Structure 1
């Protein structure tokens, strides 16, 4: 192994190879803060170096795990002591921006926030938005096909990528840096790597699609009297706000009550006695007209008893205060410790029944100690479910998973809406994919990574 490490040092330089304590002090899991156990972390500075690194690892049959911003929550970055980590932290440049074509070319290690800010400087926007925007990287967003709060309007990461470059397990560079919206010349190879969680290739660069900057932002927090009213409110907002609706986030009472309790730092913006709450946001081009239209829609929703109360943000500070209730995951982790986190999707019409069934099953198995918190992107059928049974043992985790995923199959839902599969959900993949689909995934893996060197054990056993 020393021979391989020495060879990699000649490729990336001594500063490009981390060993010992420099490896152990790195965390590989956002929730657990578990330390990295890899034998070394290799930090290439460009695609050519990474290609040479992978060629050397391929010759030595050395498995690797790719690291981006390390904000994932399904153990996709976990590396064993006999594996190497490939970190793209030094490949973080925004290479070029085309204001006319509305595209940006970036390296995979660039953070989402840096891309958003670069687009903002030329009066455009990169619409993907996540709470981890300051840490998560574009490569990680691509590898997991990230979603976020604006999927309802702009789609997932897949819709934001025009072209990309990736390095295969043997060092081959597949460069398809397409800058055009339309290109039907053969297979769309970039789709192989988007959402593949680093198991088919390591994304190194990408061409991102930018959108017009929307100078007008309207945000409201509303109280909703029932789940039926919540679904009708979504339909109403989608119709009345037309193409300006950019986010529709639902908060169950258990989430809102916890986040605005005396133990947290968030103010109770609305009274905490409503069964549901929603954050509604629009993006537009005319502040005055958009504000009038937004207020009129909220007033009409009150008249039709779709909502019982509302607070309309009239400053960026108030807007941030509303979103902080939704995005403060650190408080949830602290208050629900030990917490089991789930990211599922299912038809909107079945969400209330599904959550109610979960609550009943959890209470039956852990009476008086089980606690569930639910929130999510209602507009695209994605719920985030946080559960604690005050028992951190692996047995309890497995038992909770069986309840969450077992109940989900009744509604033909997905075990992963936007977080990926990693190691955490691998054993449950068959609940959301047919045997034929899994067989095809394995054939693709074998074709692109015949030695099984890329993120081994992730997604597929």
Structure 2
């Protein structure tokens, strides 16, 4: 149908307060951080309630109008990029924290709220929301759930889906499903909650959620460690999980390529160690009793030093020290400035394979493109490896070749082409490296059942048949 008809129908139902046409969008961004292009959409919808989301989708479904839901536009897979014929739907006005229930340990929110706002609300209640990402100030809970975000503390608390007890979502036809339940145990048939989480806006739009809160740690013990080889890295992880009473809350592994590059290019960073090592680990353990926990942490590291597992270590004596360690790891936020033409990978392997897989990628990339920059780091405790590649003078053809090489190695090792950033439009053509034909067929069947006209985020996640 003519585009004017759907715009007229939306305007009649929702008004100028909710609907903004392309001519009035001015400089609004149309793409996320993936580097994929985005065009100004036909219009932008900014509903103020689930009821308005439902009205909008019911009309768009009737007119077969494609819709792309947008959160904070901090994604790295192109899932929120729009084209000229699509309508963008932003939940930025649905950003209320509706309830903090300290007894149940939950927080109920509209999903346009930022991750940082949820963290602050939890902290004010004497609790914590454990999901944490570098984009915390901009990313939204809706985007976090739609992509099943990971972050720094998956090793202890799990992915985004592990933080959700209940949610509300609107399907393509405007139907509202789900419930704002606060129960951990809720075995009542098909889990529609987890079907929505990780679907990247292709099955429905998540509008509200009940999130789990956790007890706030009384103390954080943090160390920056230098290790001799990958075997030592995995041994440190295993020993820390076994011997530290409260376990490991973060285990970030960095290869020298990453650490040396960051220290050389970000003037505010300082090396925690005066020695060089083949591997570096940022180890964090959350505990209750401050001094007792710190003493146990230091005793453990002393044993690891004596056993030769660690070559050297710097232990944070203050929050400032710990913050300085984390700033090296979080300096990835500087990549858009330092390496605007980078090719980034978010992949995962079995923990036992990461050392060999990372070395395989590094050697193959440098052999194929001498003079290229290859940086390696990751959340080792959950098998997530990040690889940053920059080829001087490389263009789109080079990027395609780099991706083919890396994703080919991922397939060889039986890994995943996406650990925590989603598939979006960027990885849909390599989804078959990780998923079987039968699994892809099942995904398509689910998509058709919930969105038979294909209006939700078309061209994302699923590869072309």
Instruction: Give the TM-score range, shorter chain.
Output: over 0.9
Over residues 167-195 of structure 1, what are the superposed CA-to-partner deviations in whole Å (9 max), with x where a residue is unaligned?
Answer: 00111111322111111122221111011
**Of residues 416, 426, 434 in structure 2, which corresponds to 1:432?**
434
Of 387-396 and 319-328, the range deviating more from structure 2: 387-396
Instruction: Tell whether 2:333 aligns with 1:314.
Output: no
Question: Structure 1 segments of 4 or more deviating over 4 A?
Answer: 33-36
Instruction: Tell whether 2:415 aligns with 1:398.
Output: no
Instruction: Tell whether 2:420 aligns with 1:418.
Output: yes
Distance of 2:459 and 2:30 partners within structure 1: 19
Distance 1:240 1:228, change over 3 A: same
| Matched residue, 1:459 | 461
Q: Does structure 2 retain, via aligned residues, the 8 Å contact 1:423–1:459?
A: yes
Over residues 426-452 of structure 1, what are the superposed CA-to-partner deviations in whole Å (9 max), with x where a residue is unaligned?
Answer: 000111001100000000000000000
Displacement of 1:6 in angstroms is 3.0
Instruction: Tell whether 2:448 aligns with 1:446.
Output: yes
Q: Does structure 1 retain, via aligned residues, the 8 Å contact 2:134–2:333?
A: no
Distance of 1:189 and 1:398 partners within structure 2: 36
Displacement of 1:31 in angstroms is 4.8
Instruction: Tell whether 2:47 aligns with 1:72.
Output: no
Q: How does 1:278-427 map to 2 (within 5 A)?
A: 278-367=281-370, 369-427=371-429
Distance of 1:48 and 1:225 partners within structure 2: 58
Displacement of 1:8 in angstroms is 2.0
Q: Does structure 1 retain, via aligned residues, the 8 Å contact 2:30–2:81?
A: no
Distance of 1:11 and 1:237 partners within structure 2: 58
Instruction: Tell whether 2:49 aligns with 1:49.
Output: no
Corresponding residue SS for 1:14: coil
**TM-score using structure 2 length:** 0.96
Over residues 25-59 of structure 1, what are the superposed CA-to-partner deviations in whole Å (9 max), with x where a residue is unaligned?
Answer: 31412253955421111100010000000011011
Q: CA RMSD in A?
A: 1.5
Corresponding pairs, count:
460
**Of residues 259, 270, 276 in structure 2, which corresponds to 1:267?**
270
Specify every segment of 5 or more residues in structure 1 that has no aligned partner in the other structure, as ranges.
none
Displacement of 1:302 in angstroms is 0.7
| Matched residue, 1:37 | 40
Distance of 1:242 and 1:432 partners within structure 2: 36
Q: Does structure 1 retain, via aligned residues, the 8 Å contact 2:198–2:422?
A: yes
| Matched residue, 1:167 | 170
Corresponding residue SS for 2:285: strand
| Matched residue, 1:189 | 192
Distance of 1:382 and 1:354 partners within structure 2: 12
Distance 1:37 1:262, change over 3 A: closer
**Of residues 247, 251, 255 in structure 2, which corresponds to 1:252?**
255
Corresponding residue SS for 1:235: helix
**Of residues 54, 58, 63 in structure 1, which corresponds to 2:61?**
58
**Of residues 209, 212, 218 in structure 1, which corresponds to 2:212?**
209
| Matched residue, 2:84 | 81
Distance 1:264 1:331, change over 3 A: farther
Distance of 2:8 and 2:265 partners within structure 1: 55
| Matched residue, 2:96 | 93
Displacement of 1:333 in angstroms is 3.2
Distance of 1:453 and 1:27 partners within structure 2: 18
Over residues 295-345 of structure 1, what are the superposed CA-to-partner deviations in whole Å (9 max), with x where a residue is unaligned?
Answer: 111111111111111111122222111111111223233333310010000
